[in-house]
Amino acid sequence: MPTLIWSQDSNPVPSTAKVEIQENADGVIVGRLTLPKTAMKDAGMYSVRAENTEGSAESKAPLEVISKMGDGEPCEPSFSKPCAEDIYVDEGKPLVIECKVLGNPLPEIKFLKDGTPIDSQRGTINFDGQNV
């Protein structure tokens, strides 16, 4: 069985990480790194290096940790899911425009039509802390 060496930004993984290595029924080796509760400091480039008597191989993946609304460092608003660029709706049918927005503190959300705020009597805005 190969040896697996995990790292975060070329440093040992956090001490809270759970590392497992198993062989499944097909004989395939499965390595798993689990962080039980992620924090902003866990963001970075993760890599795993597999070594055996014949050599080594490495795989990398970036991890971005998205702050919970109201927690963590202040940050400007950004869209993790922007509104669709082209929207079509049949006349007389309801229109739903959805996006996901991040920011700390929570950003104020305004929808505009031709540069003018939409009258609240014509529509509603629902915001659950991330989804608009």
- Which residues neighbour 34 within 8 Å (Cβ) at sequence distance 6 or greater? 17, 18, 19, 20
Judge if 47 and 83 occupy the same domain. no
**pLDDT for res 112:** 83
Same-domain check for residues 90 and 46: no
Asked if pLDDT for residue 90 goes beyond 70, the answer is: yes
49 is in which domain, residue-wise? 3-63
Residues 86 and 103 in one domain: yes
In terms of pTM, does the model score above 0.95?
no
Give CA–CA dist 39/45, Å, rounded.
Answer: 14
State residue 46's pLDDT score: 94
Position 89 scores a pLDDT of: 86
Domain check: are 57 and 85 in the same one? no
Domain end call among 63, 90, 113: 63
Q: Are residues 59 and 70 in the same domain?
A: no
- Are 74 and 129 within one domain? yes
